[in-house]
């Protein structure tokens, strides 16, 4: 990789319909995660920790808070042409928005033509993981393939949930077929009970990527999608390699979280990913100092856990509590509390995710719920205890009974 010019593209224009109502007023990559982060922070942290210093974020859908977060949080020093820049849809090819992730790159080719990189790293903006892209880039260059797809091993029984990569038995680093959610998957040669699932991260020779998105733009039957159209095109040409995530060794990772990767594109997966954070030995460890996850440093006081006016201390168990939050004589268990949230006397919050500045008033009860920013659960009210009643009140409730309350809602008894 030394002496090779690398350019990073983060695809951040997704609408995130399956995360509604959390995406009703913000782009999917801007959704808060783990208290003080936003989803895009994981992709950007991986790129920066991998020593990429020229990165653009392609945005489109309800992008104001995302653009603001990138501009305020991800400011590099500007020296040696280092930057992370948010780039909205520019309508360079006509009066239209991006029609897919490949079209987003096609409409932004001026960025590549200006920088003239040798290698382009293209990543999604809504996955939770750690990855050293420098190792993947080295493997890409060594393979000689013009395109390389990062893939993670998954049980073969879950193949119908992913884009699945089938490898060439004679050349296991080359992709023989790329199949979207197959019901008849083929196991790996070295592990018949596993498949390789695409992680949505790619490394390309720059010239090959430019040619591919131009070629795709001329196809009227294409969906102009990176995973659905561009990668299959490389596969059909015999030009696509695969990088097994098991080869990636991030400093400071443990055996428990080394190969963690989660697509948080649904309310269920978003909720489960938070549960992965809170145990004493978390499945995904936020406290790795050798590969930190960066985000905005809030000008906030420390969190505070205090007795209420009657002297009751309350209990906090297996939870993450962000800066500025106050827990006063309340019960917090297996939950994540965002900045400046408040839980008041006698309230119970269990198995929940609470966003910034939410307030749970005295004796309220919240369980298996996600509360968006500025939600107020009034004294004595409950959320999550009765999913049928929550649906009747207009709240989103998943099949497994997770209740989601949208931004700024006041929940009354």
Domain boundaries, given as residue ranges, for the chain: 6-275, 304-411
One digit per residue, pLDDT tens: the chain, 413 residues? 667 899 999 998 777 788 999 999 898 999 999 999 999 999 999 999 999 999 999 988 787 888 888 888 888 766 668 889 888 877 666 666 676 788 889 988 999 999 999 999 999 998 999 999 999 999 999 999 999 999 999 999 888 888 899 987 777 788 998 988 888 888 888 888 999 999 999 999 999 999 999 998 888 888 888 988 999 999 999 899 999 999 999 999 988 888 999 999 899 999 999 999 998 888 999 999 999 999 887 788 999 999 877 767 789 999 999 999 999 999 999 999 999 999 999 999 999 999 999 999 999 999 999 999 999 999 999 999 999 999 999 999 999 999 999 999 999 98
Q: For residue 181, say whether it is annotated as part of any ligand binding site.
A: yes
304-411 fold: UDP N-Acetylglucosamine Acyltransferase; domain 1 (2.160.10)
45 vs 286: CA distance, rounded Å = 12
Q: For residue 180, say whether it is annotated as part of any ligand binding site.
A: yes
Q: Specify the CATH class of 6-275 in words.
A: alpha beta
Q: For residue 211, say whether it is annotated as part of any ligand binding site.
A: no
């Amino acid at each position: 990789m030394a002496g090779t010019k690398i350019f990073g593209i983060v695809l951040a224009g997704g609408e995130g319909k399956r995360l509604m109502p959390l995406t009703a007023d913000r782009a999917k990559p801007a959704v808060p995660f783990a208290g003080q982060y936003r989803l895009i922070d994981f992709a950007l942290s991986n790129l920066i920790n991998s020593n990429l210093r020229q990165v653009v974020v392609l945005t489109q859908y309800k992008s104001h808070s995302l653009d603001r977060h990138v501009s305020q949080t991800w400011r590099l020093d500007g020296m040696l042409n280092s930057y992370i820049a948010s780039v909205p849809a520019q309508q360079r090819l006509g009066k239209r928005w991006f029609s897919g992730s490949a079209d987003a790159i096609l409409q932004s080719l001026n960025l590549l033509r200006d920088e003239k990189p040798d290698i382009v790293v293209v990543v999604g903006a809504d996955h939770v993981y750690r990855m050293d892209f420098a190792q993947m880039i080295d493997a890409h260059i060594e393979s000689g393939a013009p395109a390389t797809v990062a893939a993670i091993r998954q049980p073969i029984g879950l193949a119908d949930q992913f884009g699945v990569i089938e490898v060439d038995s004679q050349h296991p680093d080359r992709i023989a077929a790329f199949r979207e959610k197959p019901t008849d998957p083929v196991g790996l040669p070295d592990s018949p009970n596993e498949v390789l699932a695409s992680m949505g991260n790619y490394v390309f020779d720059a010239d090959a990527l430019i040619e591919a998105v131009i070629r795709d733009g001329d196809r009227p039957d294409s969906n102009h999608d990176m995973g659905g159209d561009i990668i299959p095109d490389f596969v059909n040409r015999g030009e696509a390699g695969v990088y097994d995530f098991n080869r990636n060794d991030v400093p400071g990772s443990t055996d428990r979280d080394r190969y963690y990767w989660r697509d948080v594109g649904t309310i269920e997966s978003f909720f489960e990913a938070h549960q992965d954070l809170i145990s004493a030995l978390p499945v995904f460890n936020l406290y790795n100092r050798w590969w930190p996850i960066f985000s905005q440093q809030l000008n906030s006081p420390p969190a505070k856990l205090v007795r209420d006016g009657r002297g009751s201390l309350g209990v906090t168990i297996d939870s993450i509590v962000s800066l500025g939050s106050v827990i006063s004589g309340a019960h917090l268990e297996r939950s994540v509390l965002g900045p400046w949230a408040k839980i008041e006397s006698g309230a119970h919050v269990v198995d929940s995710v609470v966003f910034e500045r939410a307030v749970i008033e005295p004796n309220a009860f919240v369980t298996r719920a996600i509360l968006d920013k500025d939600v107020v659960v009034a004294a004595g009210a409950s959320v999550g205890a009765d999913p049928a009643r929550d649906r009747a009140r207009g709240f989103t409730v998943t099949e497994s009974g997770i209740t989601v309350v949208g931004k700024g809602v006041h929940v009354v008894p």
